[in-house]
Amino acid sequence: MALNIDVIKAGLETSVQDFPGRYGFWEQGFPPSGPFDMWSFRLANILVGNAPEAAGLECQFMGPTLKFSDDCVIAFTGAEMNATLDGETFPMWESVAVAAGQTLACGFASVGARAYLAVSGGIEVPQVLGARATFHMAGVGGLEGHALKDGQSIAVNGGAGVPGRKVKQDCRPKIANGKQWQIEVVQGPNDDWIAEEGIERFLESEWKLQARSNRTGYRLEGPEWIFADKASNKGPEHGEHPSNILDHGYPVGSINLCGQTPIILVNDAPSAGGFINPFTVPSAAFWKLAQSKPNDIYRFNRVSVEEAQEMRRGIDGLCVEDSIE
Amino acid sequence: MKFDQPKYLPGGDHFILVQFGDDASIDLNFMALGLTAALKEDATKGVVDTNPSYNSLIVEYESDDISYADLKIELARLISGLGSVEDLELESRLAYLPAMYLDPWTRDCVADYSEKIAPRDYDPDFVAEVNGFEDAKQLARIHSGTEHWVVAVCSTPGLPLMRALDPRCAITSPKYNPPRTWTTLGAIGVGGLSSSIYTTPGPGGYNLIGRTPVPLWDPQQRLPVFKDRVVLLDAADRVKFVPIGEEEFEYIEARVADGSYEFNITAYQRFSVGAYKKWVASLNQDGRF
Amino acid sequence: MIYDEPKFLPGGDRFIEMELGDELNFDLNFLVHSLSAKIREAEIAGLIELLPNMASIVISYDPDLISFADLKSEILSHYRNMGSLEDMELLSPIYYIPVLYCDHVTRACWEDYCAKITEKEYDSDILVQLNDLDGYAQLARIHSGTEYWVAALGFYPGLASLIALDPRCRLTAPKYNPPRTWTAKGTIGYGGSVTCVYPANTPGGYQMIGHTPVPVCDIEQSLPAFKQDLALLRPGDRVRFFPVGREEYDYIESRVTAGDYVHNVAHYAKFSIRAYHEWLGTLDMKERF
């Protein structure tokens, strides 16, 4: 059952991703890439009977229009993309049988920002550097190294899926349009470069997600940061600005302070550089970032390493068959 | 061929020649230099000096302090302590020497020979042709592309006898017949499988392909690098030629003349024969610079 | 300085930043890479990836398999068992990379920046002035006069940060403010006290002092040098730049385009810390190439 999906309209930056993304090449400069909202992505795969890691599509803000060449079972999770199948409303969080020749069309996301499409059998693109995840900056992985383009064709492995499966309500991420988010954050690694006053200010302030944000970095707008002494009393090799530090690796999720601009480093961000990271957004909060829209407001909620790990375990525990009814 | 057991041959009353084999395989030189280092460390009583070559080592000894027979035993002991050639690691500095390839001065030297002794093509063109290179420029690229192993410092003071370490850069060339009566000082020559640098303007038979503006020896010890030595290079050092143009040649020449030239030598490596063999085996022998 | 006790700083739920010191110091960087090698060998369950850089290592781990505390403790014990830095040696390949200094490619990039973003002084002029050099020739001579240690990979695939092993060749340069939106692939950059080769057409902030036609990153792994790895350079490798003229630059570019360019790498020398420290002690820091 060789299936092809024709890309009638590519949508805004739709790409092939797999979970957990690309590992083993970080020290050669390759970020993990992979799905931004790992919770929604895995559930989509489980709905159609795939392993949670199988390659699927990540749709951002405006989803694609796709035509299926053969029968299959698909599922759409994450943001509400107002999708239709041959004109009929297409349900989210549910596995649906698609017949050969049918077309799935998406509009703009009305709730949340990123949606995930899984197809029974999983998307078949070559593995590059160990993963199918797309890293567009280097043209690696996915469909020819980049986001989908109109007119392309995506191969899908044959796979049997069962339609009519639904994700239980309380097993889904609570994606809403409130525009206000509480984002968990772990203090460190370079929190000692910020004055006590600055730490408090960060945690007590509202931060606005700027429009110029994407999978490479989430730029935040907010008050000025206050630096500790050590940020100015340092060797010349660190650089002049208090936020400059001798080049070091960047944990994924770091809140990277470039001058006075904090940028959350997410899936496609550079692996290292010369700015400090006073706080880090943990894995469990990534779905919130993924489902935010420009101008959303963040308030950061400090948690410990152990608490953050517990939260992640909690989400992992929901990306299982038991979450399906 | 490498001998199963090294041969010991007397050279008069106070020299012994240790032969590791009878061809120019570089392993034999590695063994000779390994023995040189071992003798130095052992500080064997009675050993006065050593002088390596392609596949052998001459040891000069004081017969009042050690007999020929005892010295043979000592040498055999040290050689067996070296283990197999793959285990050898040798102290080896790397000297980056500026070289102007296809320079006007050696061109004049060759032209002079051609006029006065026997007609002859311009050496770099000749060598390029003999080796199947595209042209003299490729000869320069290939010659400067490899590190050259100093097999021995011999013939005239400071003169390094060198072998290309990168087998893809092996250059072969017949020598002048008859030899030249004089050679440009600092000329870089290739002959047989070796390269050398002329440290005196005397006779010579290697093909001249370039010239270096830096001195390889300095009996007056004028330049800083010669503070504790008279000769720049030792056997087991390596040379990498850095191609320069005429302007840079003149600049360096001026700094040599005023005593301020800084040699570019790194001395923080040990040459690993085992790693070298692995590397040679990994090369695509058809690749060319 | 190298910290007495390394710091283990949390990075969210699954990263640790291990800081071994806070300066750009070769010994410290060597320690970082030696420790990384040791940790890799240990194959700690739950440890996913290591990202060594100048003076720190970012470690990614699976908290389901190992806790922050346990991982810290294991790594610390490896750190304590490392033995003295002085005794360390590393087989370190050296890459010879040709550079056209003050070239046409980077000049065009700088002109574009001046036209579209903001006026700025020509990059090589900035370096000459800031470092008190005679001119472009001396800039080339000094930049190419040292081996560089690959201290880190990062920021962009294939981008290596290089630090000069010969302290007499350490220069300093400010960064572009604001940064460029593009840099020609193959540009030789200098920022702070680090030099690099841009592996692709990326944004950047280093001053541009030359250009190489030789690729340092090949994601398709089509050229022979990239068969094992898509990035040419790894931490612990060394690079030596050598100046070429326009003609040679064009020739090399044509070989790269034709797909038969042979990278020049010698992989048989062991870098010795003790020997490196001794060698540093022999240098006259007042002298310049």
Residue-level pLDDT at C154: 79
Q: How many CB atoms lie within 10 A of CB A45?
A: 26
Residue-level pLDDT at A247: 84
B93 vs B230: which has the higher pLDDT: B93
Asked if A191 and A261 sit in the same domain, the reply is yes
* A324 domain residue, yes or no: no
Asked if A61 and A156 sit in the same domain, the reply is yes
* A88 domain residue, yes or no: yes
CA angle centred on B221, ends B215 and B226, rounded to 5° = 70
Q: List the 100-139 stretch of C: residues with Cβ below 8 A of A.
A: none
**Residue with token string 């806790």:** C67
Q: List the 154-183 stretch of B: residues with Cβ below 8 A of C.
A: 165-166, 168
Residue B280 three-state SS: helix
Testing the interface with B: which of C89, C265, C268 to mutate, by most B Cβ within 10 A? C268
Residue C266 to residue B166, Cβ atoms within 8 A: yes
Which amino acid is residue C209, in one-letter code? Answer: I
Is pLDDT of A1 > 70? no
Out of A124, A144, A167, pick the residue that ends a domain: A167
pLDDT bin (cut points 50, 70, 90) of residue C73 is: very high
pLDDT bin (cut points 50, 70, 90) of residue C254 is: very high
**Residue with token string 């159609």:** A48
Query: What are the residues facing A231 on neighbouring strands?
Result: none
| Inter-helix orientation angle C26-42/C273-282, to 10° | 180
pLDDT tens string C165-175: 999 999 999 88
8 A C-beta contact, residue C200 and residue C217: yes
Residue-level pLDDT at B12: 85
From the CA of C227, how many Å to the nearest CA of chain A? Answer: 13
* C156 domain residue, yes or no: yes
Asked if A116 and A185 sit in the same domain, the reply is no
Q: Please choose, from the candidates C87, C60, C90, C88, the residue with its C-alpha nearest in 3D space to the C-alpha of residue C75.
A: C60
CB-CB neighbors (< 8 A) of A252 in chain C: 12, 15, 60
Q: Please choose, from the candidates C55, C56, C36, the residue with its C-alpha nearest in 3D space to the C-alpha of residue C47.
A: C36
* C287 domain residue, yes or no: no
Q: List the 35-94 stretch of B: residues with Cβ below 8 A of C.
A: 89, 91-92, 94
Looking at the structure of chain A, the number of domains it has is: 2
Q: List the 219-238 stretch of B: residues with Cβ below 8 A of C.
A: 224
From the CA of B62, how many Å to the nearest CA of chain C? Answer: 33
CB-CB neighbors (< 8 A) of C269 in chain B: 92, 94, 269-272, 275
Asked if A296 and A150 sit in the same domain, the reply is no
pLDDT bin (cut points 50, 70, 90) of residue B272 is: very high
* C89 domain residue, yes or no: no
Q: Please choose, from the candidates A249, A36, A28, the residue with its C-alpha nearest in 3D space to the C-alpha of residue A130.
A: A28
What homologous superfamily does CATH list for B94-266? Answer: Cyclophilin-like (2.40.100.10)
pLDDT tens string C18-70: 999 998 888 999 999 889 989 999 999 999 999 999 999 999 999 999 999 99
Say whether residue B30 is in contact with chain C using an 8 A CB cutoff: no
* C289 domain residue, yes or no: no
Asked if A189 and A161 sit in the same domain, the reply is no
The two structure tokens encoding residue B23: 């061809």
The CATH number of residue C257's host domain is 2.40.100.10
CA dist., res. A183 & res. A286, Å (int)? 9
Mean of pLDDT values over C269-280? 93
Phi, psi for A265 (deg, rounded to 5): -85, 115
Is pLDDT of C220 > 80? no
Say whether residue C13 is in contact with chain A using an 8 A CB cutoff: yes
Residue-level pLDDT at B202: 87
**Residue among C10, C24, C56 minimizing CB distance to A237:** C24
Residue C55 to residue A248, Cβ atoms within 8 A: yes
C175: which DSSP letter?
Answer: P
**Residue among C60, C63, C152 minimizing CB distance to A309:** C63
pLDDT bin (cut points 50, 70, 90) of residue C279 is: very high
From the CA of B63, how many Å to the nearest CA of chain C? Answer: 36
In which domain, by residue range, is C123 found? 94-282
Testing the interface with C: which of A216, A283, A305 to mutate, by most C Cβ within 10 A? A305
How many Cβ pairs within 8 Å bridge chains B and C?
94
Asked if A148 and A190 sit in the same domain, the reply is no
Asked if C132 and C250 sit in the same domain, the reply is yes
The two structure tokens encoding residue A210: 């700027």
CA dist., res. A171 & res. A123, Å (int)? 25
Residue C10 to residue A138, Cβ atoms within 8 A: no
Asked if A10 and A87 sit in the same domain, the reply is yes
Looking at the structure of chain C, the number of domains it has is: 2
Question: Which chains would you list as touching A if contact means 3+ CB atom pairs under 8 Å?
Answer: C
The two structure tokens encoding residue B150: 């100093």
| Average pLDDT score, chain A | 94
Lowest mean pLDDT, pick from A291-295, A312-316, B157-161, C244-248: B157-161
Residue-level pLDDT at A160: 87
From the CA of C113, how many Å to the nearest CA of chain B? Answer: 32
Q: Please choose, from the candidates B158, B287, B214, B216, the residue with its C-alpha nearest in 3D space to the C-alpha of residue C265.
A: B287
Which amino acid is residue A60, in one-letter code? Answer: Q
The CATH number of residue A310's host domain is 2.40.100.10
Asked if C259 and C182 sit in the same domain, the reply is yes
Which alpha helices (DSSP H) does chain A contain, by range? 38-47, 196-204, 286-290, 305-318
From the CA of C107, how many Å to the nearest CA of chain A? Answer: 25
Residue A282 to residue C12, Cβ atoms within 8 A: yes
Residue C229 to residue A29, Cβ atoms within 8 A: no
* C25 domain residue, yes or no: yes
8 A C-beta contact, residue C239 and residue C195: no
Testing the interface with C: which of B90, B97, B268 to mutate, by most C Cβ within 10 A? B268
ipTM value for the complex: 0.87
pLDDT bin (cut points 50, 70, 90) of residue B207 is: very high
**Residue among B146, B262, B268 minimizing CB distance to C276:** B268
Residue B62 three-state SS: coil
Q: Which residues contact A217 (CB under 8 A, 6 or more apart)?
A: A256, A263, A264, A265, A266, A269
How many Cβ pairs within 8 Å bridge chains A and C?
159
CB-CB neighbors (< 8 A) of C194 in chain A: 247
Asked if A127 and A241 sit in the same domain, the reply is no
Residue C230 to residue A28, Cβ atoms within 8 A: yes
Query: What are the residues facing B162 on neighbouring strands?
Result: B150, B195
Residue C249 three-state SS: helix
Asked if C58 and C138 sit in the same domain, the reply is no
Mean of pLDDT values over C155-159? 84
The two structure tokens encoding residue A66: 């796709």
B216: which DSSP letter?
Answer: S
Quote the percentage of chain C above a pLDDT of 70: 100
Q: CA dihedral in degrees (B129, B135, B140, B146; nearest 10)?
A: -70
**Residue among C10, C15, C154 minimizing CB distance to A272:** C154
Residue-level pLDDT at C83: 87
Residue A189 to residue C11, Cβ atoms within 8 A: yes
* A173 domain residue, yes or no: no
pTM, rounded to two decimals: 0.84
Residue A280 to residue C23, Cβ atoms within 8 A: no
Mean of pLDDT values over A246-254? 91
Lowest mean pLDDT, pick from B89-93, B202-206, C194-198: B202-206
pLDDT bin (cut points 50, 70, 90) of residue A151 is: very high
Residue-level pLDDT at A273: 84
In which domain, by residue range, is A44 found? 3-167
CB-CB neighbors (< 8 A) of C289 in chain B: 262, 264
Out of A167, A193, A220, pick the residue that ends a domain: A167
Asked if A160 and A309 sit in the same domain, the reply is no
Asked if C34 and C56 sit in the same domain, the reply is yes
* C20 domain residue, yes or no: yes
Residue C262 to residue B287, Cβ atoms within 8 A: yes
Domain B2-89 has CATH 3.30.950.10: no
Asked if C120 and C71 sit in the same domain, the reply is no
CA dist., res. B170 & res. A250, Å (int)? 46
CB-CB neighbors (< 8 A) of A283 in chain C: 12-14
* C233 domain residue, yes or no: yes
* A127 domain residue, yes or no: yes
| Average pLDDT score, chain C | 93
CB-CB neighbors (< 8 A) of C24 in chain A: 235, 237, 246
Largest CA distance in chain C: 59
Q: State yes or no: chains C and B have 3 or more CB pairs below 8 A.
A: yes
Bridge-based pairing of strands A180-187 and A297-303 is parallel
**Residue with token string 């500026």:** B98
Question: Which chains would you list as touching C if contact means 3+ CB atom pairs under 8 Å?
Answer: A, B
pLDDT tens string C88-97: 888 899 999 9
Asked if A163 and A241 sit in the same domain, the reply is no
Is pLDDT of A20 > 80? yes
Residue B268 to residue C144, Cβ atoms within 8 A: no
- Searching chain B, which residue's CA lies closest to the CA of residue C90? B269
Q: State yes or no: chains A and B have 3 or more CB pairs below 8 A.
A: no
| Average pLDDT score, chain B | 93
pLDDT bin (cut points 50, 70, 90) of residue C79 is: very high
Residue B269 to residue C269, Cβ atoms within 8 A: yes
Residue-level pLDDT at B119: 94
CB-CB neighbors (< 8 A) of A186 in chain C: 10-13
Quote the percentage of chain A above a pLDDT of 90: 84
Q: List the 223-282 stretch of C: residues with Cβ below 8 A of A.
A: 229-231, 235
Say whether residue C54 is in contact with chain A using an 8 A CB cutoff: yes
Asked if C253 and C196 sit in the same domain, the reply is yes
pLDDT tens string C107-140: 999 999 999 999 999 999 999 999 999 999 999 9
Residue A29 to residue C64, Cβ atoms within 8 A: no
Asked if C162 and C104 sit in the same domain, the reply is yes
- Searching chain A, which residue's CA lies closest to the CA of residue C199? A138
Residue C200 to residue A138, Cβ atoms within 8 A: yes
What are the sequence ranges of the domains in chain B?
2-89, 94-266
CA dist., res. B283 & res. B109, Å (int)? 37
Which amino acid is residue B154, in one-letter code? Answer: C
Asked if A46 and A133 sit in the same domain, the reply is yes
Residue C276 to residue B288, Cβ atoms within 8 A: no
Q: How far does CA C117 lie from the centroid of its chain?
A: 28
From the CA of B265, how many Å to the nearest CA of chain C? Answer: 9
Out of A167, A189, A217, pick the residue that ends a domain: A167
pLDDT bin (cut points 50, 70, 90) of residue A26 is: confident
pLDDT tens string C183-196: 999 999 999 889 99
CB-CB neighbors (< 8 A) of A277 in chain C: 11, 17
Asked if C203 and C268 sit in the same domain, the reply is yes
Residue C279 to residue B268, Cβ atoms within 8 A: yes
Residue C13 to residue A186, Cβ atoms within 8 A: yes
Asked if A262 and A155 sit in the same domain, the reply is no
